[in-house]
Amino acid sequence: MDVANLRINGNRLQQSLEEMAKIGATSRGGVTRLALSDEDKQARDLFVKWLKEIDCEITIDDMGSIFGTLPGSENNLPSVMSGSHIDSQPRGGRFDGILGVMGALEILRTIRENNIQINRPVTAVAWTNEEGTRFSPAMIASGVWAGSLKKDYAYNRTDPDGKRFEGELIRIGYKGPSPAKRWPVHAYYEYHIEQGPVLESKNRIIGVPKGIVNLNWYDIYIEGESNQAGPTPMVNRHDSLVAASEMIIAANEIPNKFGGDLVTTVGRIDNEPNSVNIIPGQTHFTFDIRSWNDGLTQRALDNLLPLFKDIADKRGCIVRIEETWRVKHSPFDPKLVRIVNDSAIKLGFDPLEMTSGAGHDAAYINQVAPTAMIFVPSIGGRSHVEIENTTWEDCKAGADVLLQCMLQSANEA
């Protein structure tokens, strides 16, 4: 068979995505499928079922990541791998992550049903806890697999209810027998929705990221003094929430001060005692800062973090700053990026070179294996929300590009 003319089954890909979207479905068309939840287990079970139907060799490691492999004619050669994640944000979208897992599954199905001969084994993977919503930081399992995070550190991460990562992994039955440890990979492709507005604004269907921006997460803890709201004069207050508010404004203003592609986000605030008539005594917020330029990010942090301490001092509070996650920017493998670009052109698309502003498991895999990504548009640039959407035609287009990339890499000597 001339594999250049081979295409995936778009209807089947759509059906798989729609079936997955029923698991943890929300009222507005999104999903809530937090890592290691009952919904995550249900989706994992379905993915494993589908892998078994095409006779994949299935491996589940002790971080819960699932690998389904079809053999090649030379199984001693490093494999070609593709995948993403099954877990979602709370009230998140039905394409984020799962498109990459179902896309990889569809490539394996296409190879199997057409009896395509490949030299190297091909693997579809679902990484555990990419989102980092329930268990912070993000991309824990791929980080452990790549050797960038310690397994004990991952196992001891807790959710807001104090439940340990390892305990929940065991509870849902997905602490597998294989060690989460990297092995030789010839090429890793991750297929994903863009999660931004660039492709749609430029009327392009296929995006070819040159890499992923740096990723930096901080937890900011502010200790003030709780007191009765009415009798306490303003001059005598040590209000942790007011201090946090000033810090958040400073964080929001730092990109304008430093320019470039710098972005900052405060996504979570916890306040105690959180009562209408008590001055807040303890406040915690998260701080996310990203840029393609590692030096720019560091200069911004060198300016901002001391400012947080000055604000706390002014308000009579104590601030504790914890760096919970740091990943440098990740330039992808030039050869694989070229394969994605050329495959898209051969299929009649006009690909757009771009940068990924979102974090992906590819950032860690990129540290140990040649890596590239494929993007398709997010309607309205929306993601991590229930109304996240991508057309079925674009889902198929990206999967067709992924198919050609994986076949080319799988048949390399």
What pLDDT band is residue 413 in, cutting at 50, 70 and 90?
A: confident
Strand pairing of 66-70 and 122-127?
A: antiparallel
Residue 84 and residue 230 in one domain: no
Residue 77 and residue 150 in one domain: yes
pLDDT in tens, 22-48: 999 999 999 999 999 999 999 999 999
pLDDT exceeds cutoff 80 at 298: yes
Q: Which residues contact 140 (CB under 8 A, 6 or more apart)?
A: 63, 128, 129, 132, 149, 154, 157, 165
Residue 317 and residue 384 in one domain: no
The enclosing domain of 298 has a CATH number of: 3.30.70.360
Residue 48 and residue 122 in one domain: yes
pLDDT in tens, 189-240: 999 999 999 999 999 999 999 999 999 999 999 999 999 999 999 999 999 9
Residue 229 and residue 112 in one domain: no
Q: Give the residue numbers spanning the domain of 288.
A: 215-327
Residue 273 and residue 371 in one domain: no
Average pLDDT for residues 257-271, to the nearest whole number? 96
Residue 171 and residue 205 in one domain: yes
Residue 92 and residue 241 in one domain: no
Last residue of a domain, one of 327, 353, 377: 327
Q: Please name the helix (run of DSSP H) or strand (run of DSSP E) that holds residue 66, with its range, or none.
A: strand 66-70
pTM of the shown model: 0.93
Instruction: Write the DSSP string, 318-337.
Output: EEEEEEEEEE--EEPPHHHH
Q: Which pLDDT score is estimated for 406?
A: 98
Q: Report the distance separating Cα 17 and Cα 69, nearest Å.
A: 20
What pLDDT band is residue 2 in, cutting at 50, 70 and 90?
A: confident
What value, to the nearest 5°, has the Cα angle with vertex 188 and ends 178 and 105? 75
pLDDT exceeds cutoff 80 at 16: yes
Cα separation of the two ends of the chain: 19
Residue 224 and residue 293 in one domain: yes
The enclosing domain of 401 has a CATH number of: 3.40.630.10
pLDDT exceeds cutoff 90 at 297: yes
Q: Report the distance separating Cα 191 and Cα 362, nearest Å.
A: 10
Q: Which pLDDT score is estimated for 1?
A: 67
Residue 46 and residue 177 in one domain: yes
Please report, rounded to a whole number, the percentage of residues in the chain having pLDDT higher than 90.
99
Number of domains in the chain: 2
Average pLDDT for residues 101-108, to the nearest whole number? 98
pLDDT in tens, 312-361: 999 999 999 999 999 999 999 999 999 999 999 999 999 999 999 999 99
pLDDT in tens, 134-175: 999 999 999 999 999 999 999 999 999 999 999 999 999 999
Q: Report the distance separating Cα 383 and Cα 275, nearest Å.
A: 33
Q: Give me the chain's average pLDDT, please.
A: 97
Last residue of a domain, one of 284, 303, 327: 327
Last residue of a domain, one of 260, 295, 327: 327
Residue 148 and residue 102 in one domain: yes
Q: Which of 14, 101, 22 is nearest to 393 (CA)?
A: 14
Residue 321 and residue 343 in one domain: no
